[in-house]
Structure 1
């Protein structure tokens, strides 16, 4: 399989592939791997030890020379080509366990268990220096077990072997040390190799295991007979896996969270250490609370955005809208909207905390300070954050319904069957709920709004067409 064909197949499989003109310069040197040929000059360079200095950077950073930058570009281009081949092989051979709960899609907890009065325990596990401690021989064995092309495996083996590092502090170099474990951080191949290495960690586990890079979570329902013992057994199996594959847990950072009012709050151990109970945990940048409320996340998001807005205001003297607003959209607003479809606030106090940041930003624009908030938004051609969340909800729903998000059919939404009422053919079926948390959860709150949309909106062919149709629909409603 050629390198360019591999890249095209990735795009067709729904995975991202960033084309780069610089890849063409490395094609002739790398394409030989598909035809059992290797450029002698490439082979000589591959056999030479790579000596990498670990530099103690100043706060202001370190300038890279042009020569060093070009070397890094060349290495990353090579990494991308092999990254493509590895992913194409994994996808084409249906080795989906590497990706379903890995870098592309994370598993989620069924809130319906909590809504019905159940209890769930979540163990947040952290590997100790995960990317630096992957044993090379065991990694190569796993790559070979995937039936990857032997040339690719050989190249990765040479890429990992004979690496040396030294530490540089104030211009003083330490002695060279041979690197016998770990995947190079900052490389393109590093994350996928690590993901392959831990791909079998969930084998034999009865609970739900969620993986994202080196972040591992295991969830078990504990209000049913045998639930606590099952969680204990699963943690024991994870300990055995870590010992077998020489990837140890950082027990000081491993936590347990108890969800549900009737949770027995059992005590668990891993590596002979009792897991610390926590009421809040940062999970992929979002604060999860044991009561499943989002106030802590709203306060954190508003605080980060407010501090960034202060930096923007102090960093530029101009208050023109064409200067200030692009910086607000690029640097401030992402803090308020990161993963917001998951933690969208429904209490008015939390909504106001987030909106207050945008109110302050629009007041900074020259000539708008004395106007009302809605007038400022109209002048700047902006939506309130609440309206943007409404729009974002519908965009995400469209992606799920149309299959743009690759998830198992019926795992997120259920279609209404034999609906005799008026409306479009893509109507969704809501579920019964008892608590406000479930009522305002993404999969429940969007159902009524989605079902009320006109046919011309939901039958858009692309996301861009849907956004345009949604904006026209809302504009018509606002005029009424």
Structure 2
């Protein structure tokens, strides 16, 4: 019996509470004969103003790290997503290489199917959390899709935009924006959504448009500025009423796609 990927977190102002929690975990693991692997225990401090307190496990100071992987998402101490983008593009490009070796110059239909099944999910997993705002990160992601669209063609091939049209593929930043809107719709319509509180509605009766307009959140840092609640604000509030008032998720996706196509 073992416990894997156990994480404890708290505000830096509650360092004593976190220390006590670490002690409790150690006591529990000792009592149940499930020893903790000290070499795999790390402390990740988040934010530039973090005092970077020291934490101890069984009297031994835990080593600090600047990155960790949580459910497939690489998190860094400065809350930048560049390292995660680099990680997933490397993984996706390896998959592109394997597909190239296995299928050679397959036709458009086959390449699109392989891309949607094996490559694009790598580039989009949990992107409502890490959606990048830096141009270099966006370009890195798009370069992988650009590479895939070349596979069915020879040396003389259409432009990237024409290849996207032929293969019925949107640019990835557009799909991320679509994903953000889907996340908001789910949060607002699912009564049991654990992230519903992240999207307070603007109850000011003077606002124009649909009845599900989000309330503008104040922010002081780029980290918060590009968090989903602020990132999706203008796009969601600009959607037509018939889109956001969809009866279910499937209907919402269809209406959203039609709206973006116009």
Question: 1:293 maps to what in 2?
Answer: 80
- Is residue 399–residue 405 contact of structure 1 (8 Å, CA) maintained in 2? no
- Is residue 362–residue 368 contact of structure 1 (8 Å, CA) maintained in 2? no
Between 1 and 2, higher relative CO (CA 8 Å, sep ≥ 6) is seen in 1
- After superposition, what is the alpha-carbon deviation per residue over 1:37-80, rounded to whole angstroms, capped at 9, x for unaligned? xxxxxxxxxxxxxxxxxxxxxxxxxxxxxxxxxxxxxxxxxxxx
1:308 pairs with 2:95: yes
Question: 1:327 maps to what in 2?
Answer: 114
- Is residue 305–residue 332 contact of structure 1 (8 Å, CA) maintained in 2? yes
Question: 1:448 maps to what in 2?
Answer: 234
Out of 15, 19, 32, which is 1:228 matched to?
A: 15
- Is residue 86–residue 140 contact of structure 2 (8 Å, CA) maintained in 1? yes
Matches within 5 A, 1:349-388: 349-366=136-153, 369-388=156-175
Out of 132, 135, 139, which is 1:348 matched to?
A: 135
Matches within 5 A, 1:232-311: 232-311=19-98
Question: How far 1:265 moved relative to its partner?
Answer: 1.7
- After superposition, what is the alpha-carbon deviation per residue over 1:290-339, rounded to whole angstroms, capped at 9, x for unaligned? 00000000001110000100000001134211222211111111111111
CA distance in 2, matches of 1:360, 1:317: 14
Out of 413, 417, 424, which is 2:210 matched to?
A: 424
SS at match of 2:207: coil
Stretches of structure 2 lacking an aligned partner (at least 5 in a row):
none
CA distance in 1, matches of 2:69, 2:196: 29
- Is residue 228–residue 266 contact of structure 1 (8 Å, CA) maintained in 2? yes
Q: Answer 1 or 2: which has greater strand percent.
A: 1
CA distance in 1, matches of 2:123, 2:38: 32
Question: 2:252 maps to what in 1?
Answer: 466
SS at match of 1:216: coil
- Aligned-residue RMSD, C-alpha: 1.7
Question: 1:217 maps to what in 2?
Answer: 7
1:398 pairs with 2:201: no
- After superposition, what is the alpha-carbon deviation per residue over 1:339-375, rounded to whole angstroms, capped at 9, x for unaligned? 1111111000000001000001101113695211111
- Is residue 251–residue 271 contact of structure 1 (8 Å, CA) maintained in 2? no
Structure 1's 277 and 363: CA in aligned 2 closer, same or farther, altered over 3 A?
Answer: same
Matches within 5 A, 1:47-62: none
- Is residue 181–residue 236 contact of structure 2 (8 Å, CA) maintained in 1? yes
CA distance in 2, matches of 1:408, 1:296: 25
SS at match of 2:208: coil
Structure 1's 322 and 398: CA in aligned 2 closer, same or farther, altered over 3 A?
Answer: same
Say how many residue pairs are matched: 262
TM-score, length-scaled by structure 2: 0.94
Question: How far 1:267 moved relative to its partner?
Answer: 1.5
TM-score, length-scaled by structure 1: 0.52
- Is residue 368–residue 376 contact of structure 1 (8 Å, CA) maintained in 2? no
CA distance in 2, matches of 1:473, 1:323: 28
1:130 pairs with 2:9: no
Structure 1's 369 and 335: CA in aligned 2 closer, same or farther, altered over 3 A?
Answer: farther
Q: Answer 1 or 2: which has greater helix percent.
A: 2
